[in-house]
Amino acid sequence: ETGVTQSPTHLIKTRGQQVTLRCSSQSGHNTVSWYQQALGQGPQFIFQYYREEENGRGNFPPRFSGLQFPNYSSELNVNALELDDSALYLCASSLGQWNTEAFFGQGTRLTVV
Amino acid sequence: AQTVTQSQPEMSVQEAETVTLSCTYDTSESNYYLFWYKQPPSRQMILVIRQEAYKQQNATENRFSVNFQKAAKSFSLKISDSQLGDTAMYFCAFIATRFGAGTRLTVKP
């Protein structure tokens, strides 16, 4: 059974650029959630995908978008990067939506300069 | 909107002793799930314990237990026989969507 893997582990982008972060969910999981964790803070929910459909969204602007693929892997896309987008981005997969244990990846550290 | 509050930014405990981390939340829902997650320096979040709101019995996982007070909207985590490996950030979470700001726990030898 493979765990949740995220790529890349670290990334540096320039303000105004676009970035794509990737997440491979744990085998058998059909739900992926994305979080932004600023330094010293708790994770902030961005959105969740369940069986390829967006299933809930936090308080993030439309320039944060995502996809879930038939194999349940997922991408987080951020357009027009801002300095405040610098954070650790966490992906979590689960079997089911809101009530089951989520398994987290190790995150992607994004730095916007 | 649901909010989760962890009022203790940092705590420390001696090895083998017991420590309790506090969490309160706000919701108008009656059926939900609460979680405690641990985030060590390696960054990977690990589930510690889960509580279903419709169950009155407090959840227990080995040295970890919760005190769930639904009416008071309180969900504290008790760690017994603290070990050095328990040193980490601990986050309380309401369902999958709302996390507290975390408590940094240091276990001292």
Helices (H) and strands (E) in chain A, counts: 0, 11
Specify the residue for token string 């993030």.
A60
List beta partners, residue B51: B34
Burial of B11 by CB count in 10 Å (0-12 exposed, 13-18 middle, 19+ buried)?
middle
Would you state the pLDDT for residue B42? Answer: 79
Residue B81, Ramachandran bin (φ over 0: left; ψ between -120 and 50: alpha; else beta): left
Mean per-residue pLDDT, A67-89: 96
Q: How far is B50 from chain A (nearest CA, A)?
A: 8
Joined together, the tokens standing for residue A77 give 């896309």
Contact B99 A104 (CB under 8 A): no
Of the listed ranges A39-43, A95-99, B11-15, the one predicted with least confidence: A95-99
Say whether pLDDT at A97 is over 80.
Answer: no
Q: Which helix (H) or strand (E) holds B11?
A: strand B10-14
What would the pLDDT profile of B13-71 be if each residue is shown by its tens digit? 999 999 999 999 999 888 889 999 999 987 889 999 999 998 889 999 999 999 999 99
Would you state the pLDDT for residue B31? Answer: 87
Interface membership of A6 toward B (CB under 8 Å): no
A104 vs B13: CA distance, rounded Å:
27
Mean per-residue pLDDT, B67-79: 96
Would you state the pLDDT for residue A18? Answer: 98
Is the Cβ–Cβ distance between A95 and A28 less than 8 Å? yes
Interface membership of A34 toward B (CB under 8 Å): no
Say whether pLDDT at A1 is over 70.
Answer: no
Q: How far is A35 from chain B (nearest CA, A)?
A: 9
Is the Cβ–Cβ distance between B15 and B82 less than 8 Å? yes
Helices (H) and strands (E) in chain B, counts: 0, 12
Would you state the pLDDT for residue A99? Answer: 66
Is the Cβ–Cβ distance between B6 and B100 less than 8 Å? yes
Query: Which positions in chain A touch B99 (Cβ < 8 Å)?
Result: 35, 42-45
Residue A2's pLDDT band, with cuts at 50, 70 and 90, is low
Query: Which positions in chain B touch A92 (Cβ < 8 Å)?
Result: 45, 96
Residues 48-67 of B with CB under 8 A from A: 50, 52
Mean per-residue pLDDT, A26-50: 93
Interface membership of B104 toward A (CB under 8 Å): no
Joined together, the tokens standing for residue B73 give 């909207």
Contact B96 A58 (CB under 8 A): no
Say whether pLDDT at A107 is over 80.
Answer: yes
Specify the residue for token string 């959105």.
A47
Would you state the pLDDT for residue B13? Answer: 98
Say whether pLDDT at B2 is over 80.
Answer: no
Mean per-residue pLDDT, A51-65: 94
A4 vs B45: CA distance, rounded Å:
11
Residues 2-41 of B with CB under 8 A from A: 4, 6, 32-33, 35, 37
Is the Cβ–Cβ distance between A22 and A73 less than 8 Å? yes
Residue B95, Ramachandran bin (φ over 0: left; ψ between -120 and 50: alpha; else beta): left
